[in-house]
Amino acid sequence: MGTWQSVLLPSKSGEAAFNHSEYNQDILFSTYVLEFGVTDWWTLGTYVDFMSGAGQGYSYLQTRAITSRIRFPRIPDFIDPAIQIEYWVPTGAANNPSFLDLILIGEKKVGRFVFDINSSFFFETANPGGAAEGIPPDMEYAGGLYYLLADNVNFGVEAFGALGPVTAMLPFGGPVGSANIQQNYIFQSWNFAIGDHIDWNVGVGTGLTQASAPFVFKTIFEYHFKPFGSQEEGEQYKEEQNIH
Q: Are 36 and 225 in contact (CB under 8 A)?
A: no
Tell me the C-alpha distance between 176 and 14, whole Å: 10
Q: How confident is the model at residue 236 (pLDDT cuts 50, 70, 90)?
A: very low
Task: Supply the pLDDT for residue 154.
Answer: 94
Q: Are 9 and 15 in contact (CB under 8 A)?
A: no
Q: Are 27 and 7 in contact (CB under 8 A)?
A: yes
* pTM for this predicted structure: 0.84
Q: Give tens-digit pLDDT for 97-135.
A: 788 999 999 999 999 999 999 999 999 887 655 655 667
For residue 236, the SS3 value is: helix
- Residue 182 to residues 63, 104, 192, Cα–Cα distance (Å): 24, 20, 31
Q: Are 219 and 201 in contact (CB under 8 A)?
A: yes
Residue 55 above 90 pLDDT?
A: no
Beta bridge partners of 158: 144, 187
166 Rama sector, left if φ>0, alpha if ψ -120 to 50, beta otherwise: alpha
Task: Supply the pLDDT for residue 229.
Answer: 58
% of the chain exceeding 70 in pLDDT: 79
**Average of per-residue pLDDT across 236-240:** 43
Rounded to the nearest integer, the mean pLDDT of the chain is: 83
The region of weakest confidence among 107-116, 207-216, 233-242 is 233-242
Q: Are 112 and 136 in contact (CB under 8 A)?
A: no
Tell me the C-alpha distance between 219 and 207, whole Å: 17
- Whether residue 136 has a cis bond before it, omega within 30° of 0: yes
**Average of per-residue pLDDT across 38-66:** 85
For residue 95, the SS3 value is: coil
Q: How confident is the model at residue 178 (pLDDT cuts 50, 70, 90)?
A: low
Q: Give tens-digit pLDDT for 7-40.
A: 988 877 666 665 566 666 788 999 999 999 888 7
Residue 244 above 60 pLDDT?
A: no
